[in-house]
Structure 1
């Protein structure tokens, strides 16, 4: 991992964030465990870290809902990040009476959260994702888009612009917009949608190859086989970007009567799905056991962490919420060993210190209780 930049949080401060009026952590280890009772705010700390990169955070919450209910409606997350020996202070938050979050880097306001990707790539695995393989396709598209964003910082804006253009087209169809206006808007939809589909396909291809390369290693988690599927991908298979745009534009033009009747656009990559198989069993992940699904998801996230390092040149920060509780002791120890080998910083939560007995000596542990933090195990040999 020495070929990659490694971002490490050395200090984290929360103000007015969820149940934390104020909270500060001084961090020295790459493996960090947060333990404490349910409701103490451990996941809230992970969510705060997830806002130190581009996107809407691990809960995709409305910004105003994040603020401590006992405060003035504002919240902030500030951190000191050590990136290859250079310290940078980054922060984000919501000011009272505003609707968009602000981002600061070394005390200077910057436009958009995409700038944070220069300092940190953050990936996460939370219990809400346990139903990923059995839930709606929209959840898997969102998951794939987040994987893609870690590799391609422009992808988040691309998806947002595509979804906005789709909404405008649907509105124009409902209002009886002219062919000229619809044609111009459909050209934009086709360009953006094709770019989104290509980026997703590249991520699936790269991740699939990374998983295949790791299949020969003795890793503790099953391997997944991935595919991006949908009518749009099937109809444009083998076409170059320009031809795919033209094909999508024709689909939109020819589908106007049907889309107008349905009140939505019925063709395009906004309906595609990420298909996941348990490779060893050639079985859809959604038909695997609950334990196998969890193990597949962990393996997928770990492979993506390796891919993110390889593509971006930066080892990501991992947020793993309640991940150890679902594993037997042997697999738990194997997970900690695997996390250490990734070389990046990892934050894990759990209700019981015993879940983290197999952590290496260089790890540290904090107890989160009564809106306060306490170091209960210092790192050694780091």
Structure 2
């Protein structure tokens, strides 16, 4: 069987789970249980099979189960386009996270080449009305799903910018100190902007003409301070040089890809996402996640693994059924959480169902036949 899905997932001392093992077959995964039982922790464990800090952006020591503090481990057998990969990621106490793919040490970015994982969690519900940083991170996660090397470009850009900011804070005025750093920032920044804009084009195409019950979101990029947003290497280099005096006064870099903001509009109504109702904002987010999945199905050859935390609780029965229909039509393995089994009734045998409960301070996972 082709596609992309997890066949076996093992958690050890991960958050509330002392030990857990899920055997899966590629169908969507419905996970239910009371609040605090450890449902979201399973989704977070799956998110650690992709580059970055996972859906909670937690440090390695935050993830280790308390009070043992023995470190943690997540392992998976991943079926990707007809090949099976053994993935292990772990962190010992006080150590950074390590990754192994098929028994060999690997960089985190390598995870993005064999698995594409996208998520929607309740913390994103305020995406359109809070700060630009969250929207930029949301966009960059989608960009990374298309181009795993986007993460490397962002890291390289931010490293050079930190060094430039250090010069600015020290009030260094000699232009020679800035040349190489600004050249690197311009090169990496142009790549970042190019990949972001390409991702927006792919999302627009994936929404256009799609048969969906969720509204189309029109997306665009602008500077968070409504100033210029240069996007080519030449424009960026010129901007860094000409803005140096202003940056010296601020003690930091005030122009560049790190100042980008994502604008969203409810296309059918012509209304900014920030002005939409809470329900409409949620529907727009779901629409974008599904568009991301459709685009990846074409690019990668398989739908991504979806992580949808408490997504069903905010949808009426019709929208819930429509969401499940779209996920199954994509052939995607989606891990979805909810407080009760009734939230997944429309899925029936199209999904594997698991109940999570808390027993003596530890999460226990049980498959429901």
Query: Fold-level match, TM-score > 0.5?
Result: yes
In structure 1, how many angstroms separate the alpha carbons of the residues matched to 2:70 and 2:131? Answer: 33
How far residue 121 of structure 1 moved from its aligned partner, in angstroms, is 0.6
In structure 2, how many angstroms separate the alpha carbons of the residues matched to 1:236 and 1:325? Answer: 38
| Worse overlay, 16-25 or 246-255 | 246-255
How far residue 290 of structure 1 moved from its aligned partner, in angstroms, is 0.5
Match runs of 1:68-107 below 5 Å? 68-98=65-95, 100-107=96-103
Cα 1:247/1:82, change in 2 over 3 Å? closer
How far residue 314 of structure 1 moved from its aligned partner, in angstroms, is 3.1
Match runs of 1:256-295 below 5 Å? 256-295=244-283
Match runs of 1:244-255 below 5 Å? 244-255=232-243
Cα 1:348/1:150, change in 2 over 3 Å? same
How far residue 231 of structure 1 moved from its aligned partner, in angstroms, is 8.1
Secondary structure, counterpart of 1:57 in structure 2:
coil
In structure 1, how many angstroms separate the alpha carbons of the residues matched to 2:326 and 2:339? Answer: 22
Query: Unpaired runs of 5+ in structure 1?
Result: 378-382
The reply on whether 1:376 has 2:364 as its aligned counterpart is no
Corresponding residue for residue 314 of structure 1: 302
- The structure 1 residue matched to 2:219, chosen from 215, 223, 226, is 226
Secondary structure, counterpart of 2:67 in structure 1:
coil
Tell whether the 8 Å contact from 1:79 to 1:91 is kept in structure 2 after alignment.
yes
Corresponding residue for residue 21 of structure 1: 18
In structure 2, how many angstroms separate the alpha carbons of the residues matched to 1:269 and 1:108? Answer: 34
How far residue 21 of structure 1 moved from its aligned partner, in angstroms, is 1.2
How far residue 133 of structure 1 moved from its aligned partner, in angstroms, is 0.8
How far residue 33 of structure 1 moved from its aligned partner, in angstroms, is 0.5
Which digits, 9 at most, give the CA deviation of each residue in 1:135-182, with x for residues without a partner? 111111111110000000100111111112111111011223332111
- The structure 2 residue matched to 1:142, chosen from 131, 137, 145, is 137
- The structure 2 residue matched to 1:202, chosen from 176, 183, 198, is 198
Equivalenced residues, count: 364
Secondary structure, counterpart of 2:255 in structure 1:
coil
Secondary structure, counterpart of 1:33 in structure 2:
strand
Tell whether the 8 Å contact from 1:120 to 1:316 is kept in structure 2 after alignment.
yes
How far residue 85 of structure 1 moved from its aligned partner, in angstroms, is 4.1
In structure 2, how many angstroms separate the alpha carbons of the residues matched to 1:369 and 1:203? Answer: 39
Tell whether the 8 Å contact from 1:64 to 1:73 is kept in structure 2 after alignment.
no
The reply on whether 1:340 has 2:340 as its aligned counterpart is no
Tell whether the 8 Å contact from 1:165 to 1:188 is kept in structure 2 after alignment.
yes
How far residue 30 of structure 1 moved from its aligned partner, in angstroms, is 1.3
The Cα RMSD (Å) is 1.8
Secondary structure, counterpart of 1:213 in structure 2:
coil
| Worse overlay, 62-71 or 222-231 | 222-231
Which digits, 9 at most, give the CA deviation of each residue in 1:97-116, with x for residues without a partner? 31x21111122222x11111
In structure 2, how many angstroms separate the alpha carbons of the residues matched to 1:359 and 1:231? Answer: 41
In structure 1, how many angstroms separate the alpha carbons of the residues matched to 2:61 and 2:205? Answer: 41
Corresponding residue for residue 337 of structure 2: 349
